[in-house]
Amino acid sequence: MDPVSPHRAQVSLGVMYRDGRGVPQDDAKAVRWYRLAADQGLADAQFSLGVMYAIGDGVPKDDAEAARWYRLAADQGYVSAQFFLPLMYGTDEGVPQDAVEAVRWYHRAADQGLARAQGNLGFMYDTGEGVPQDHVQAHIWFNLAASRSTGELRDNSVKNRDRAADELTPDGLNEAQRLAREWDAAHPREP
C-alpha cells in the first residue's frame, strides 16, 4: 500500500473541514489546508481553492483569485478547472470576457470526455460564439454530450443535436455522425 503523501493529506483535511466530516465544519480551515497543497502544485487543491474564492466560503469572494487558481489547475489538465474557467470567460467574472479563450478551455475539457463541456462547446459552434458558426461541429459535440450524459443534460443535448441536424444537408449530417463516431472510438470511456 502506497503511503499517502503529505500534500494529499492536506487536500483530504481541506475536504473534511469543508464538509464537516469527522471535524467541525470550518471553511476557513478548509481554505488553509487547500492553500498548503495548492501552493505545492496539487491541481485538485488549486481547483478547490478556486471554488472557495468563487463562492466566498472561508475567504472573501474574489473572482479574479478564483480564476487564477482555476487556471493553475486547468494548465495541469484538471478537467473540472478546464470547465469552470471558460464559464468565467463567458461571464466577465475575474477575467475579461473572451469567447475565443472560453472555446479553447471548453475544447480541452471536452477532449477529456466531460459531457457538460462537450455540450457547451456544441453551443459555441452552434451560435458562432468564439468560433466560426459550424453546424457540423455543433452536431458532433452535442452528439457526444448526449452519449456521455444522463438525465436533463442528456435530454438537452439530444434536443440541441437534433436542432443542429436540421441545419445540415444529408451529407453534412453523415459527416457529423462519422466524425462523432471516430472521436468516440479514439476516446474510450474510463470504467
The pLDDT of residue 188 is: 82
Name the amino acid, one letter, at 23.
V
Closest of 36, 33, 65 to residue 51, by C-alpha: 65
Check pLDDT > 50 for residue 1: no
Class of domain 1-76: mainly alpha
The pTM of the full predicted model, rounded to 2 decimals, is 0.90
The pLDDT of residue 191 is: 60
Give whole-number Cα distances, 73 to 45, 121, 123, in Å: 8, 20, 24
Cβ atoms of residues 84 and 53 within 8 Å: no
Task: Give the tens place of pLDDT for each residue, 79-110.
Answer: 999 999 999 999 988 999 999 999 999 999 99
Domain spans of the chain? 1-76, 98-191
Write the DSSP string, 141-157.
HHHHHHHT--HHHHHHH
Average pLDDT estimate for 15-19: 93
Task: Give the tens place of pLDDT for each residue, 27-61.
Answer: 999 999 999 999 999 999 999 999 999 999 999 99
Q: Which residues contact 123 (CB under 8 A, 6 or more apart)?
A: 129, 138, 160
The pLDDT of residue 9 is: 87
Name the amino acid, one letter, at 134.
D
